[in-house]
Amino acid sequence: MKKTLVTAITTALVVGAASTTFAAANPYSDVPSDNWAYGAVAKLSQDGLISGYGDGTFRGNQTLTRYEMAQITANAITKEDKANAEDKATIDKLANEYRDELSSLGVRVGKLEANQPVVKFTGDLRVRATSDGYDQDTKASTVASTYRLRLDATAAIDDNTTAAFRFVTREPDKSKFGNDTWQSFGGNAQDDKGTSGSGNGAIDRVNLTSKLGHSVSTTIGRQALNVDKYSMLVDSGAFSYDGISFAGKTGTYNVNASYGRFINGAAFANNQYTALFANLDVMSLGASTTQGKLAYGLSYFDFVNNSPSVSASYNPSRDNSSLKWTIANLNYNFTPKLSLNAEFAHNGGTSLNASENGKNVWQVNSIIGAQKLAQKGDNNVTLTYVDAGGSSMIGPLSTLPITINDRAADFKEYIIDYNYAFSKAYTATLEYAKLTSSVDSAATPENQQQYRLWFDAKF
């Protein structure tokens, strides 16, 4: 089998330095080069379930012993909770094939893991440069250089419970619907601060996740606010809420639900949404599935405003509910080099302006090239189009490069990204975005174009 397995040989191979007596008749016999296991390992490596060492490569004319295959399988098993259904089946098949070797290897792996740190860290550091320009001469263009660090920590409490927290260089200021999580190079910490108070970092998430039976888990505490799959409506990487969520599987469907408080007692001062919201709770319910090349989902999300008098002028007939999003999304992989993603949302709740118009928003996105930046040299182009009604979404909460400043305005946005991988963990993106608004004028300049370049390092 002539194939390069990028990141295929795992750190578990280090364990093989010492001798061990195996239950298998000959654990050091070579696995034939045309054996199905090589293809299985390649797929798990591509999906990020096997980590490598050295130069991270394995050549097709180099065979592995059953012992080495068992070590790779043992490494994959430790990441099984991150695997999809297909990869879990592959891991189970490998585990069954090398069960004798795994049985002997298990003691040694257990001793190795006992010496590892209790808390495991992963991180994402992004550095970017941004240039903005407007169609109207009444608003000056800007250039900025910023950075952002997010550091996630997890610790296994027992076999069923995991504790987690996250450190960030800057939190979003939810009291003003602010989604600026970036620090400025050479900037004043006081100017850059979010809700952390100092602008010098904060722990923005702390939660516990427990397994409830075989296919259900629950998370309690401050956690990611997951509203829609592509974060068109709400940036789940930035925003959090205090509450509880459930995730499970029934048949081929993944289901989830959440309830909690987004923010308490905020007046949203100096913000255009002041007249609409005060205390906001969140409720959601969703389901998704994959059928061959097609993946799709449907969900409902409710931002519940617990200050009815605030929204009376806009929403007198809908009790306390401020926003009620019904959301549909789909993904179709035409080929390994071409996919189409789409998302639609309808706001059935409060109108963000005085009329009931413009409550739909939809986005279509295509990835041309490598669907995942999994190794050095992988690259792709992504094309995105967004069409939003003035009462369909709250722009500042979104991940869109440019958001509208006037809540009463419809807008369209065009986004082109070129992404390149220097390695699996180090990538670069060059982005162009163009927004056109229905209310652009010299007095209220909205039409805008933006260029961005950023470098992203994961560790």
* Lowest-pLDDT range of 93-102, 191-200, 263-272, 321-330: 191-200
Predicted local confidence at residue 1, as pLDDT = 38
- What's the whole-number average pLDDT of the chain? 79
Neighbouring C-alpha atoms within 13 Å toward the C-beta of 280: 25
Token output for 303: 């931002």
pLDDT above 90: residue 32: no
Mean pLDDT score, 242-265: 92
Q: Is the pTM of this model over 0.85?
A: no
Q: Do 23 and 100 touch, CB atoms closer than 8 A?
A: yes
Predicted local confidence at residue 36, as pLDDT = 85
pLDDT above 50: residue 317: no
Structural element, H or E, at residue 127: strand 119-134
Token output for 136: 């109207």
pLDDT digits (tens, 9 = 90+) for 16-28: 333 333 333 344 4
Mean pLDDT score, 362-379: 95
Q: Do 199 and 186 touch, CB atoms closer than 8 A?
A: no
Predicted local confidence at residue 408, as pLDDT = 62
pLDDT above 50: residue 198: no
Task: State whether residue 372 is helix, strand or coil.
Answer: coil
Predicted local confidence at residue 333, as pLDDT = 95
Predicted local confidence at residue 186, as pLDDT = 74
pLDDT above 80: residue 143: yes
Predicted local confidence at residue 98, as pLDDT = 80
Beta-carbon count within 10 A of 114 CB: 7
Q: Residue 455 — pLDDT band, cuts 50, 70, 90? A: very high
Q: Residue 87 — pLDDT band, cuts 50, 70, 90? A: confident
* Separation CA 255–CA 128 (nearest Å): 36
| Residue that wins the pLDDT comparison between 207 and 398 | 207
Q: CATH homologous superfamily of domain 119-458?
A: Porin (2.40.160.10)
pLDDT above 50: residue 303: yes
* Lowest-pLDDT range of 52-61, 224-233, 275-284: 52-61
Predicted local confidence at residue 45, as pLDDT = 83
Task: State whether residue 192 is helix, strand or coil.
Answer: helix
**Residue the block writes with tokens 């309808």:** 346
Q: Residue 434 — pLDDT band, cuts 50, 70, 90? A: very high
Predicted local confidence at residue 61, as pLDDT = 46
Tell me the one-letter amino acid at 129: A
* Separation CA 360–CA 42 (nearest Å): 42
β strands within 306-425, DSSP E: 321-335, 338-347, 360-369, 379-388, 411-423
Mean pLDDT score, 183-207: 67
Beta-carbon count within 10 A of 459 CB: 10
Q: Residue 97 — pLDDT band, cuts 50, 70, 90? A: confident
Predicted local confidence at residue 354, as pLDDT = 54
Predicted local confidence at residue 18, as pLDDT = 32
Q: Do 13 and 68 touch, CB atoms closer than 8 A?
A: yes
Predicted local confidence at residue 50, as pLDDT = 77
* Separation CA 241–CA 226 (nearest Å): 9
> What does the DSSP assignment read for 394-459?
-GGGS--SS--S-TT--EEEEEEEEEEEEETTEEEEEEEEEEEETT--SSS---EEEEEEEEEEE-
* Lowest-pLDDT range of 148-162, 184-198, 269-283, 372-386: 184-198
Q: Tell me, what DSSP letter sits at residue 80? A: G
* Separation CA 452–CA 127 (nearest Å): 11
Predicted local confidence at residue 404, as pLDDT = 76
Q: Please, where in the chain does CATH 2.40.160.10 lie?
A: 119-458
| Residue that wins the pLDDT comparison between 22 and 428 | 428
* Among 28-42, 167-181, 219-233, 400-414, the range of highest mean pLDDT: 219-233
Token output for 333: 């992989």
The angle at the Cα of 386, spanning 408 to 382, to the nearest 5 degrees, equals 150
Residues contacting 150, CB < 8 A, separation 6+: 123, 124, 166, 167, 168, 169, 237
Beta-carbon count within 10 A of 31 CB: 18
Q: Residue 318 — pLDDT band, cuts 50, 70, 90? A: very low
Predicted local confidence at residue 306, as pLDDT = 72
Q: Tell me, what DSSP letter sits at residue 48? A: T
Q: Nearest CA to 329 among 319, 338, 339, 320?
A: 339
Token output for 351: 């109108």
